[in-house]
Structure 1
Amino acid sequence: MRRLGELEAEIMDRLWSWGCPATVRELVDDLNRTRPLAYTTVMTVADVLHGKGMLRREKEGRAWLYEPTRTRESYTAALMQDALAVTTDRSSALAHFVGQITADEQDVLRRALRSLTSDDQE
């Protein structure tokens, strides 16, 4: 899973945050609050994200409605999995990662691992 480009990430962030399908016009209007972007630029990037399988689209009138095919968390997990794939020592990489996260994040990780373990035992 490749990291998203800057504009791809901005589009996905809005769609994930909104939690509902959106048109290119809605994306452009929101993106233009922080920087000027052409409609065709956003349309092209949305089409690229669709081609990559990150967005699904459905025709509504003359416009496409775009929505994510996966959650932000699923995308993040895939990036983490890819990052681990580049090492020959996953244990060490994971230990370094855990050493760099906050105590609260370590607690969340422990709970997630316990939850997975208890799910496996059922």
Structure 2
Amino acid sequence: MSGRKLRSGELENQVLEVLWAAGEPMTPGAVHEVVAADRALAYTTVMTILTRLWEKDELTRRKDGRAYAYEPVVGRDQRVAQRMRAVLGAAEDHTLALNAFADSLPDEQRAALRKALGSRGPQR
């Protein structure tokens, strides 16, 4: 069992990872069972995280008996892209931030980025 207390964002990421791995809607009890398998974590904490993610439109939910079953709105890669856009939006100079990001990448990732951008063609 881990002695380190997780921040809310870390718990959100863990909950999303559980939901992505499941590939189907899960109730809070089922999510709690997985997330709390290796640490003491209250059911209400998992419920709070699910509710917050739903309120932020990152999850959908539907009735499943007396509870709700939750499912991610977007996949893992789409969420990462959203977070990258949010971070870029916080930069004062987008070009400078993008160049610094590209310069920080290993050669293989930089080549993949160049290829992805090249496949998009010119933007209008």
TM range (shorter): 0.7 to 0.9
> Aligned residue for 1:22?
26
Paired position in structure 1 for 2:47: 43
Q: Counterpart of 1:73?
A: 77
Aligned length: 117
Distance 1:117 1:19 in 2: 33
Percent identical across equivalent pairs? 36
Task: Give the alignment's TM-score, normalised by structure 1.
Answer: 0.85
Question: What secondary structure, in the 3-state scheme, does the structure 2 residue paired with 1:59 have?
Answer: strand
**Alpha-carbon distance in structure 2 between the residues aligned to 1:87 and 1:74:** 20
Match of 1:55 in 2: 59
Unaligned 5+ segments in structure 2 are: 1-7
Give the root-mean-square deviation of aligned CA atoms: 1.9
Aligned-pair CA distance for 1:19: 2.0
Structure 1 gap segments, 5+ residues each? none
Structure 2 vs 1, CA of residues 19 and 108 (structure 1 numbering), >3 Å: closer, same or farther? farther
Q: CA deviation at 1:17?
A: 2.5
